[in-house]
Amino acid sequence: MCVHAHPDDESSKGAGTMARYVREGIEVLVVTCTGGERGDVLNPKMDRPEVQANLPRIRTEEMDRAREILGVRQHWLGFTDSGLPDGWLPESGIELPEDAFYLVPTEEAAAPLVEVMRSFKPHVVTTYDEEGGYPHPDHVKTHEISVAAFEAAGDPERYRDRGEPWQPLKLYYSHSFGKARIEALHYAMVDAGLDSPYKEWMDAGDWTRDKGERVTTRVECAEYFEIRDAALKAHATQVDPDGFWFAVPRAIQEKAWPTEDYELVASRIETRLPEDDLFAGLR
């Protein structure tokens, strides 16, 4: 089970991993907490009034296409996108809309996720770290309810009306943009005589939010990057096919950094670190 904040997050964070496991015969469920209703049209090729006016419906249709490409199941939790006001941080005091997902008390917001966990019965759950991967209110809230649901799903005394208890065995945070990966891709582009999309990051040299030392598990999935990219392009309102996400040729990505990376934060079984498989100790 992979818990994400918005449609398109599943395709930009861990999609290669999901594609690999689906094709190994493992059932994968994406849980999408919100519909991305307050998002913007980020692909300039799609930035038209009629698209913005129908964005909630269009993003749902994009998620349908991405789900089919990845081969996963998908479930909407049904919360409302919080939006991302300029300068928002958890401690900023900047107000969010009254119906924002972020403002739903965690105990309440975790309830439907507990129900899905108890129904789907995942052995492994992935989500974002405590900063949401980056500080977006919906990503932070997704982290909070994922951790809460992982802890509560197996407890028969909690959420008694949400199905029979089921305890997932492993919980991971995904880490997409660590320093080591950025450096590897940057220098691979330089060595190939190509312009690196990470030059400004390298020049800034600000790695204060790097969590690379926390990575415990690197999943080889380079051969599934083509599927990942196709799923990402399915979210046409959010992703420019000629933009940042595809600036590094796939062949360079496959050679320079062929894994997707995770941090094991809770395990109910014994496993040995580092791992190369989210199902280490389970197979």
> Per the annotation, where are the binding residues?
6, 9, 139
Residue 268 CB coordination number (10 Å): 13
Annotated binding site for Zn(2+): 6, 9, 139
Burial class of 166 by CB neighbour count within 10 A (0 to 12, 13 to 18, 19+): middle
Tokens of 162: 């949400």
